[in-house]
Amino acid sequence: MTKIAWITGSSSGIGRALALRLADDGWTVAVSARSADSLEALAAERAGKIHAFALDVTDKAAVTKTFEAIEQALGPVDLAVFAAGTYTRDYAKGFSSDVLEGMYKLNVFGTAHCLEAVMPAMMNRKNGRIAVVASVSGYVGLPGAASYGSTKAALNALCESLYPELQQNGVHLQIVNPGFVDTPLTKKNDFPMPFLVTSEEAANTIADGLKADRFEIIFPWKMALSIKFLHALPHRLRFALTKKILR
């Protein structure tokens, strides 16, 4: 029996590459993003396997309606991957609460809207898997990522809090913490990105990780090791290192 996946943020980057990978693995994939044209182009690449459902995840009512439409058209969702998000560099100079609010609306509340729609259905069925795409930047406050990093830290804490209850009700929740991935968002960076991987490499790692029982999917391993080491340092040593990142 064909399994059904729903991926948000799938018009480009990791979401798009993962949709193609899952379709090639035999899944029927519902893809969502704000760009209807990009979704239709993606669906055309795997006709009959990928289905477009345009959506702005910041619209709570639209998220609920879209999830209901997907299940009505394709069947119960077995896997939901919430990858919609945005990224803007920001610093103390010129810091804007509007930028922070905008990133929280999409990265955190957009994800929360999706969780609110999906979790009850999966818990009622006592079956399903949810993956939330965050970032290694959620581990440590890095210069230039005040708003972005804090949204990803929020997603990590949110998922850690929800995990036990979901697990108790037959739903497996995972957090995905990538390092630097070559996407339209990271192309805006004007600094060297260590251990950079392609969207396809990221999608393959995530797809493999979704088959496992572990809570966290973190990659590449060199970046994972570096960020966890940095996180473990006393603040004095950590700030001595992160200060070198200032531009």
Q: Which residues are catalytic?
A: 148
Check: CB of residue 246 under 8 Å from CB of residue 58.
no
Check: CB of residue 114 under 8 Å from CB of residue 57.
yes
Contacts for 44 with CB less than 8 Å, ≥ 6 apart: none
Rg of the chain, C-alpha, whole Å:
18
- DSSP character string of 7-72: EES-SSHHHHHHHHHHHHTT-EEEEE-S-HHHHHHHHHHTTTTEEE----TT-HHHHHHHHHHHHH
| Spatial separation of the C-alpha atoms in residues 122 and 103, rounded to whole Å | 27
Give the CA count within 13 Å in the CB-facing half-sphere of 10.
32
- The structure tokens 């919609």 sit at 84
- Return the DSSP state at 94: T
In degrees and rounded to multiples of 5, residue 220 shows phi and psi of -70, 165
